[in-house]
Chains A and B, each alone.
Chain A
């Protein structure tokens, strides 16, 4: 680990000041410390933001939910409002990592977490994300866990977050504050596809700080849930996952929010699947038909071809679990 100076800030202005001078924010630290130890990350200054007042979970005026950036994963998952209103968020959180890590990691940090691509984590391997221009060792290497959607010639790394998949499905908004004031970024625009600049992962300006993630209100009842498929039963990143939220009224699906994880360079929203569901009546046939579109545009690699079929089946299964089989 490279040496770094450390400062703990007590208010947002102080944080932004430190961030503007090139300081690196640290919240839970579960990704950052790990990557610093691998020398993938080499910040010169760490800015501890854990004392900032960003810990609340509040209902917004419009009936949505605003989760403070420093709310820990465990707290967010256990929060009564989150559990009752958006089970997909609670489930995605509780299927992530381990109880210990969820006690440390925060919501803001979770969506900032970096890929688990082993070549990214190994500073002796070529990786355009870590070292632009050094090539992508994963593309022709061992790429079982890599992305099949949203990839580019430069990068095929998967975004590892589970809750980000739920946020993508629910069309959350990321609230940030920076030297030029506060702004809001639609979740779909917050995480960036690699394109030719895989080193750019979030739509944040230098020194900007996430303050909250806001989930919009949906018509009630909204049934939702998260399914995570992985080799072992727990404590593993997703091979595939599906976040599904459905609003059914009068026997007809009025709202459908679907996204997939483990398959994309960013959490992968599935508008084609959603479109297929809207206006239809829940049935096993509908789930199967809609899920056929889940892997549209997929570009599998040597070791992750199975993800194409697995993704469709994952989405189909989760549509059934959330929507029932009537």
Chain B
């Protein structure tokens, strides 16, 4: 813990990049002004599987302004040497763009058109005629064979289930869902000799850098990624999707900087998605609600060329203290593009199944859903016996119940009516693990008393620019005005992916480390400098406030950074801060409880959320105003997942039929009532990392959908086990 006074951290500051964003001056990927840029548009496969037998580019090339059409027929062969630091599914089997005639899924890029104007490139792309030898594609998880399972077991779950007094055996279906961040994926590629610069929408500049370098077989430092602003991601920008290499190929082949922006439609097959799941749960308990057995069978979709799996098993292993648990998790390879993490990856999926099942069990037993959870609350992590770093679920439940007015709830389903509307309330728990990866940050304190802190991280919306500056300001003893945090450039110190709720904790810890070191260097300089008023003072007793170093109990004795550095002819102090996760002996998770009240039109089957409350045990909250926005945003995403979102594939040829924002429904303003977030006070988790942050972006989304589904059950008496919950299920 820093001895520094905490002024910025914990203060409800507005965003430091707010002015840029509200004036249209924040520069997103496609908006960098690159001299001589030309436009590229991808041609997508119109079959679901097969081979390309010919490509007629004559009509496209005849368009004035068309520079080149590139396909497997004339594209350079890339190296694809593999990137050992990649977080892609293992095996280096990523889709190899324009390397052969195979079509692996509907919408796969088969050519790219480069032209001087966007209008011409788009039109010419529509004129490229591709001939195929199509074979039947397989995209339906229900009818395709699954692979070998990943297994987990403790105790004898099948036996315990068979002998349980109360048994539940239910299967939940969750659809494929797309991130649909508002900014389309976009890349501007420019080669300067052997050096490649990519202005790209990415949640991980150094990850994209290394992936692209591996694809082209060039040194990592020959690739530079620039991404100062990311218009939402939710996971979709965490991998280097094929369009990035496509832009780089097009730039290399034409000798010009190339801008490539995916259309909204192309984002449905040109980037990843949350895979569809089937999740069967068998719960056995005694009559007092002690769960004795949990048997879970999971099945999810993946592509034929990569086996995508995610952290979908934790929740079913460690949220409840069941002595006997068995899980098997299979993926089903289909003729689709590869899924990817999407907000609350795996954990949100698991929460819908496990938390719905617990609600069903509560109803079956006649026990209040909160009470049922309390009766199964473990003292240590039942999956590995480790103590929890922090786990304040009981407090979340109690706080939420009080603030939401849970005690006023009539437990009987379909018991509350308001005109045409049936009213119901529900709750669910969310958990998200605290992944830990190394991070670095460069800290430079200048003699003018300002600091520049840099790390190659991203800000897709949570407020990285602001919250990292808050950490730095306090650790350096500067005001926010004198601290600038920069990000989004692969030449900066490396960080983990901007995802998995890691940025605040890991990058923040590196920032604090670097700032602490700089501050200590300055203090050392002062106490050893005869000309300093601090000469001879105990370094451990010197603090910095407002850029002025002084003895803690004697503010009059001190001087500013500026005075100190200038006198010592130092233009600046600079260090590389770092965070390196050590071995841990703790089970580390963020926790949430979401409460929802819904109204269901008794005759028309419409579901509308009336109010929602989330209570969070996410560790220390660095930037409360921004954290509140992030939490409410997670709830909104959960409302979408519960009631609206569903990517639909036509299994006849693998075509996605609702690949646009008029047909893939996400919540609009009118869908969202007043929402509320409560962060448990004093949540610092120093066992998790030096700044006590567990992570927030995921856990605020996890458990929202089951809270709504449970509320729908309470309102109507009808249990819907398939998302999204639409009128069909409730008529």
Contacts and interface: CB of A to CB of B under 8 A. Distances in A.
A118 to B, nearest CB: 5
Contacts, number: 77
A76 to B, nearest CB: 22
B464 to A, nearest CB: 31
Contacts of A1: 119, 122-123
Nearest to A229: B604
Interface string A135-150: 0010011100100000
Contacts of A123: 126
B94 interface: no
Contact of B655 (A122, A140, A310, A316): A122
B648 A142 contact: yes
Given A1-B119, A39-B126, A232 B671 contact: yes
A239 interface: yes
28 contacts: A1-B119, A1-B122, A1-B123, A2-B126, A118-B657, A118-B660, A125-B655, A140-B652, A141-B650, A141-B657, A142-B650, A142-B657, A229-B604, A231-B665, A231-B727, A232-B671, A233-B671, A234-B668, A234-B671, A235-B668, A237-B662, A239-B727, A306-B728, A306-B731, A310-B731, A314-B604, A316-B603, A317-B420
A313 interface: yes
Nearest to B666: A232
A317 B657 contact: no
B727 A233 contact: no
A310 to B, nearest CB: 6
B202 interface: no
B669 interface: yes
Contacts of A221: none
A229 B606 CA distance: 8
Interface string A90-134: 000000000000000000000000001011001111000000000
B663 A118 contact: yes
B670 A233 contact: yes
B643 interface: yes
Nearest to A124: B46
A231 B724 CA distance: 10
B420 to A, nearest CB: 8
A310 B605 contact: yes
Contact of A119 (B122, B657, B670, B731): B657
A234 B652 contact: no
A235 B122 CA distance: 28
A237 B606 CA distance: 15
Given A118-B660, A236-B662, 11 more contacts: A116-B663, A123-B126, A124-B655, A145-B663, A232-B667, A232-B671, A233-B670, A233-B671, A235-B668, A237-B662, A313-B604
Given A116-B662, A140-B652, A142-B648, A310 B604 contact: yes
Contacts of B728: 306
Contacts of A39: 126
Contacts of A122: 655, 657
B548 interface: no
A34 to B, nearest CB: 9
Contact of A229 (B46, B420, B608, B727): B727
A214 B145 CA distance: 60
B143 to A, nearest CB: 16
B727 to A, nearest CB: 6
Interface string A234-251: 111101000000000000
A232 B726 CA distance: 10
Looking at A116, A122, A140, A309, the one whose CB has the most chain B CB atoms below 10 A away is A122
A100 to B, nearest CB: 13
A156 B728 CA distance: 20
A116 B661 CA distance: 12
Given A141-B657, A306-B728, A233 B652 contact: no
B95 interface: no
